[in-house]
Chain A
Amino acid sequence: MNEAKLKKLRSISKEIRKDVLRSLTEAGSGHTGGSLGLADVFTVLYFHVLKHKPHKPDWPDRDRLILSIGHVAPVLYVALAHAGYFPKKELQTLRKLDSRLQGHPGRDHGLPGLELSAGSLGQGLSVAVGMALAGKLDHKDFFVYSLHGDGELQEGSIWEAAMSASHHKLDHLIAIVDRNEVQIDGKTSEVMELEPLADKWRAFGWKVFHCNGHDHKEIYNTIQQAKKKEGKPAVILAKTLMGKGVKSIENDHRWHGKPPAKEQLSDFLNQIEENNAI
């Protein structure tokens, strides 16, 4: 990744964070922490990794991105809008009646680019396994990326899916875990310990990678590593900060599920500008 590209991606992330804050503030409810924390991962995926055609969302050979943690829908919607799937002004309809931008993603509302209706934790990896099996059966070469929260890994169904992905040698399936070490009630280590997390995935037959989830270059290089087909699925444990970009709320689990108040918005937008100076 050259400097120009890197600069471009950073600037996209900054704009994505701002639109996440704007749409959540307008909505008056929703999940700020995780949406900000995943902005860099989403930027790298939608603007440098995914093989996709925003003007042709159903293109059969596209890479699939499954968002298992439906509550961070705002960052997905903003990334899709910035990628050209639908007009950015629609972001202001988030969580409102008749909007295509449901609180948790709902395909029944017809938003282009949305691969899955999801919101009940622990289900997305199974769906990703199904998509990967279909791709294999049809000799397609698309990749399936599946995005998860770390707290979500406490759901048993995740491990059922993990077992089946390695059993069926799905080496075109890449799971990315938002490892911010927090969940609604507090630190994951206090709510329900996940460590040794890498060992768990390895024991289930996965290749494990780590990266700084806010370093675009590192995210991209790690995904390139993970894409090497070696008969095993890959998981990337992306170390992130909940609320990344707004210093005053970073790593504060109380910001998991609330939006900025109207009077906080300009301060938060200023913090994004300062913290992401290019």
Chain B
Amino acid sequence: MQYKSRGRKATKEGFAEGLVELGKKYEDVVALGADITSSVGMEDFAKNYRERFFSMGIAEQNCIGTAAGLALSGKVPVFSTYGVFAGIRTADQVRISLCYNDVHAIIGGAHAGVSVGPDGATHQALEDIAIMRVMPNMTLLSPADATQTKLATMAAYEQCAGPVYVRFGRAPFPDFTNSADAFEVGKAQTLKSGNDITLIATGHLVWEALLAAEQLAGENINARVINMHTIKPIDKEIIIKAARETKAIITAEEHQVHGGLGSAVAEVVVHNHPVPMIFVGMHDRFGESGQPEELMRKYGLTAEGIVSKVKNFYEKNS
């Protein structure tokens, strides 16, 4: 495999690094904290740029509105908290104050997916992609690892002009993408070529998809692997090409399959070149407590989970 893990690193650390870098490069970047600043990667920014960091308390709705006001006054605010609060509790503020006003503001959606672990269902964001991606004017980034999360955070400032949601996780996962590889908003990356089936993954599942492709190669199935780091605007071209050139598309995400990456890909597939699809993700249920790896395994959010669904597909269709 072309990609090697350099070790484990939480994607929230990539967000933290990106934010500090933005603070250093751009005077107009300000940040809003809702009490849990250290656990969502804002501590370093708050320390380095005290006058540009505003403590807002546990009041997420107000944070979004305040971000809109800052953005309407020439600042580029970054607000980060757990995705369940940042993107779900605040849905109406995001819809009207941010998206209808179409202001350049960045929301960091931390604690994405079941890999949050022992905190359990209340704190595992599994619906934020679905809710954020239906908001007009919103850009939604879901990078694959810590290195790419830093790039995505920079891109949210440098390549965007409206509201942006950057999704990342808590637990350390393999860090494998190259910082030298350009991160282009809206342009997915083909990490491995292949012409039998296509695995389209986002977030932590991208690494698992790469491992799955390796296992499938042993079964004489040549899988293409695509890192869909931008959920919105989605890269239609790469999806249509995969639908035309391979016989099935498997999506993999740490999110509800309803409304998430799988749905976003299916919307493109059915309109352009219908092919069978398989959805790896959470199937209309809440998460629970446990260690991140245990939970990923239990819900099939692993290379093995992907491989077994692909094999099922082959058995049914042979």
Q: Shortest CB–CB separation between residue A215 and chain B, in angstroms?
A: 30
Contact B93 A123 (CB under 8 A): yes
Q: Determine the distance from Cα of A129 to Cα of B51 in the docked complex, in whole angstroms.
A: 16
Contact A127 B92 (CB under 8 A): no
Q: Determine the distance from Cα of A117 to Cα of B99 in the docked complex, in whole angstroms.
A: 10
| Interface status of A161 (Cβ within 8 A of chain B) | yes
User: Which range contains the number of A residues in contact with the other chain?
Assistant: 20 to 34
Contact B73 A131 (CB under 8 A): yes
| Interface status of A198 (Cβ within 8 A of chain B) | no
| Interface status of B276 (Cβ within 8 A of chain A) | no
Q: Which residues of the partner chain B approach A128 to less than 8 Å between Cβ atoms?
A: 69
Chain B at the A interface: mostly helix, strand, loop or mixed? helix
Proximity string of chain B (56-81) to chain A, C-beta cutoff 8 Å, 1 when within and 0 when not: 11010111111111111111010000
Chain A at the B interface: mostly helix, strand, loop or mixed? helix
**Contact of A115 with B66 at beta-carbon distance under 8 Å, contacts A163-B57, A164-B57 already known:** no
Q: Which residues of the partner chain B approach A126 to less than 8 Å between Cβ atoms?
A: 61-66, 68-69, 93, 97
Taking CB as reference atom, which chain A residue is nearest B68?
A: A127
Q: Which residues of the partner chain B approach A164 to less than 8 Å between Cβ atoms?
A: 56-57, 59, 62, 66
Contact B96 A118 (CB under 8 A): yes
CB contacts under 8 Å to A, within B36-59, are 51-52, 54-57, 59
| Interface status of A195 (Cβ within 8 A of chain B) | no
**Contact of A157 with B65 at beta-carbon distance under 8 Å, contacts A118-B96, A137-B51 already known:** yes
| Interface status of A132 (Cβ within 8 A of chain B) | yes
Q: Which residues of the partner chain A approach B96 to less than 8 Å between Cβ atoms?
A: 117-120, 123
Q: Which residues of the partner chain A approach B73 to less than 8 Å between Cβ atoms?
A: 130-131, 134-135, 138
Contact B57 A131 (CB under 8 A): no
Taking CB as reference atom, which chain A residue is nearest B63?
A: A126
Contact B65 A108 (CB under 8 A): no
Contact B77 A116 (CB under 8 A): no
Taking CB as reference atom, which chain B residue is nearest A130?
A: B69
| Interface status of A133 (Cβ within 8 A of chain B) | yes
Q: Determine the distance from Cα of A119 to Cα of B55 in the docked complex, in whole angstroms.
A: 27
Q: Determine the distance from Cα of A157 to Cα of B57 in the docked complex, in whole angstroms.
A: 13
- What number of residue pairs across chains A and B have CB atoms under 8 A from each other? 107
CB contacts under 8 Å to B, within A102-158, are 106-108, 115-120, 122-135, 137-138, 156-157
| Interface status of B254 (Cβ within 8 A of chain A) | no
Q: Which residues of the partner chain A approach B189 to less than 8 Å between Cβ atoms?
A: none
| Interface status of B127 (Cβ within 8 A of chain A) | no
| Interface status of A167 (Cβ within 8 A of chain B) | yes
Q: Which residues of the partner chain B approach A133 to less than 8 Å between Cβ atoms?
A: 30, 54, 66, 69-70
Contact B100 A157 (CB under 8 A): no
Q: Shortest CB–CB separation between residue A111 and chain B, in angstroms?
A: 13
Q: Which residues of the partner chain A approach B51 to less than 8 Å between Cβ atoms?
A: 137
Contact A134 B101 (CB under 8 A): no
Q: Determine the distance from Cα of A132 to Cα of B66 in the docked complex, in whole angstroms.
A: 9
Taking CB as reference atom, which chain A residue is nearest B73?
A: A134
Q: Which residues of the partner chain B approach A129 to less than 8 Å between Cβ atoms?
A: 62, 65-66, 69
Contact B30 A116 (CB under 8 A): no
Q: Determine the distance from Cα of A127 to Cα of B100 in the docked complex, in whole angstroms.
A: 13
Q: Shortest CB–CB separation between residue B111 and chain A, in angstroms?
A: 21
Q: Determine the distance from Cα of A130 to Cα of B96 in the docked complex, in whole angstroms.
A: 15
Q: Determine the distance from Cα of A10 to Cα of B73 in the docked complex, in whole angstroms.
A: 33
Q: Which one, B30, B62, B72, contacts A131 given CB within 8 A?
A: B72
Proximity string of chain B (193-205) to chain A, C-beta cutoff 8 Å, 1 when within and 0 when not: 0000000000000
Contact A116 B61 (CB under 8 A): no
| Interface status of B17 (Cβ within 8 A of chain A) | no
Proximity string of chain B (206-237) to chain A, C-beta cutoff 8 Å, 1 when within and 0 when not: 00000000000000000000000000000000
Can you name 26 A-B pairs with beta carbons within 8 Å?
A: A60-B74, A108-B100, A115-B72, A116-B101, A119-B96, A122-B61, A123-B65, A126-B61, A126-B65, A126-B68, A126-B69, A127-B66, A129-B62, A130-B65, A130-B70, A130-B71, A130-B77, A131-B70, A131-B73, A134-B73, A137-B51, A137-B75, A160-B59, A160-B62, A167-B57, A168-B54
